[in-house]
Structure 1
């Protein structure tokens, strides 16, 4: 396992265990997120990726270990406190309000007051469909457009870290191409921890990668290194990135 760690990381998880009922899901996760750019969390289904995001966000409390964000311990804090620290979470379920308009969804997410116009224009630049459907119910959006709205809600105010769980799942290829461009811009502004099964998407955007297996991190390093090494891909993931897109 590569072990080049940033001197001043944004977040560190050390020896994190999470139990959900009788199930021991995370079994000593060690993860370091550098400031800026995108870290991709890969692994087979059931490896513990979503549980890692939910544990960071305080939706599930760690049973052991520590989580530090910008040097401050946050493991086990209530989710609202973690969000106020500058961390946003986009779950796999998207969690948009279908009966509310796109505008109303965004207003609800802007907890610090009215949406800044310049920031809204920037978001429209990332996701032009949101401007088009601004006054329509979110329920009329396609799956890809709902995913765009979910991400836009997370970034309606500046965030220091965004946790995003499988944003391309079930999304049409044309929408995925548009999301690659949007994420390339977004990661210039903030730090992203991305869980993703579309390896082409992950490889095109990721700066760092961590691979999970059986509730632990088993590899970490540069995304470019993993993307260029089919033997390593097969050993860690069971498939090469080129064969699983």
Structure 2
């Protein structure tokens, strides 16, 4: 049984039909990437798992049990974490306070902070600054760090390299590969080389449907199946 099973989900924003029968699976311990052009339904797939935008039909099963109809906090309580694209940090709290709040109750705060700072050393130097005063790249690092210290069985990661300088992107890749040693990842990433480097398997979405899937073994960005992504 897969850890996450998405079966023929139909998801709408109002009357706009965004996902038209998406099905995919994520095995425990895998890193699976969702790739495709902007606007084809990748983020909506993550939101459907989280029940932020519940599907009107189809099913989302986590560890064999349906998530459809649950509140988002109930999905999170089952061990599903989320690193959103839009850097949802607490603007008036410091970097350290943001990270500490993400550490599960009873967790080792010092160890959690060290995990965050090892992943992104720049955060250590600005740990006492309010998150709202950080640059976009710094806020993105903080958002990812918060996801890394929250103990989840499945982590949904949305465009982690968006807006980051190349050197920071390398840190992001290293950090995600590290967390993947203990956590299953479903990754949305526009940076195709990064996605293929991190993931074990990939799904290509186009117009709200899965149009291709494969392992990443031996696959490069020159593969003709990815030509549609730049169309």
Tell me how far 1:117 sits from its aligned partner. Answer: 2.4
Distance 1:226 1:27 in 2: 27
> Which is further off, 189-198 or 132-141?
132-141
Tell me how far 1:40 sits from its aligned partner. Answer: 0.6
Partner of 1:147: 140
Tell me how far 1:114 sits from its aligned partner. Answer: 5.6
Please provide the CA RMSD for this pair.
1.8
Distance 2:148 2:178 in 1: 12
- Secondary structure at 2:217 match in 1: helix
- Secondary structure at 1:146 match in 2: helix
In the alignment, is the contact (CA less than 8 A) between 1:10 and 1:35 conserved in 2? yes
Instruction: Report the TM-score, using the length of structure 1 for normalisation.
Output: 0.88
Distance 1:90 1:216 in 2: 23
- Secondary structure at 2:181 match in 1: helix
Distance 1:213 1:226 in 2: 19
Tell me how far 1:226 sits from its aligned partner. Answer: 3.8
Partner of 2:101: 108
Partner of 1:48: 41
Partner of 2:7: 14
Instruction: Report the TM-score, using the length of structure 2 for normalisation.
Output: 0.93
Distance 2:221 2:83 in 1: 29
Structure 2 unmatched runs, 5+: none
> Which is further off, 28-37 or 79-88?
28-37
In the alignment, is the contact (CA less than 8 A) between 1:107 and 1:115 conserved in 2? no
Q: How does 1:145-224 map to 2 (within 5 A)?
A: 145-224=138-217
In the alignment, is the contact (CA less than 8 A) between 2:31 and 2:184 conserved in 1? yes
